[in-house]
Amino acid sequence: IVPTSDIMWYSDYSVTKSGWKICAGSATPSPPSPTPAPAPAPSPPTQPPTSTPAPSPTPPPDANPPWAVVSGSCVQDGPCISSPNFPSNYANDQSCEISVPAGMGPISVEAFNTESRYDKLTVNGEAYHGQRSPEGVTPV
């Protein structure tokens, strides 16, 4: 499933568990564009060509993480985000919001263990809790 809106985390006032760690998946690459037909061969020059250096390729921009913690105490480490204090237990009454950009790929879950029915990670409007994780869900 692809996330379709921001992801929300909430823990209630009682039992705590080890929490979760989820990583952003890559979006499906778009199909390659057709290769243009080769240009006709130029006619021979009447003067010797001048030598100009070829331009250096522009380095790609720094890769930004595909999502970001925008509020709360969740922790981001590159493309992965975890509940506070992971892999140790998170605290009571914690929350966070994760901003998800359009076109993000499916979520990869490295760990997921929350208090069943009460401490929830909500993705695309669906609450995940206990050991039921959003593995493979694509935020949309």
**High-pLDDT (> 70) share of the chain, %:** 69
Q: Residue 80 is which amino acid?
A: C
* Model confidence pLDDT, tens digit, residues 33-90: 445 555 555 555 555 555 555 554 444 443 456 899 999 999 999 999 999 999 999 9
pLDDT range class, residue 117, cuts 50, 70, 90: very high
User: Cα–Cα distances in Å, from 118 out to 83, 112, 122?
Assistant: 15, 14, 12
29 vs 114, higher pLDDT: 114
- How far is the C-alpha of 105 from the C-alpha of 101, rounded, in Å? 10
CB of 136 closer than 8 Å to CB of 124: no
- For 100-115, the DSSP string reads --TT-EEEEEEEEE--
pLDDT confidence of residue 38: 55
- How far is the C-alpha of 10 from the C-alpha of 72, rounded, in Å? 10
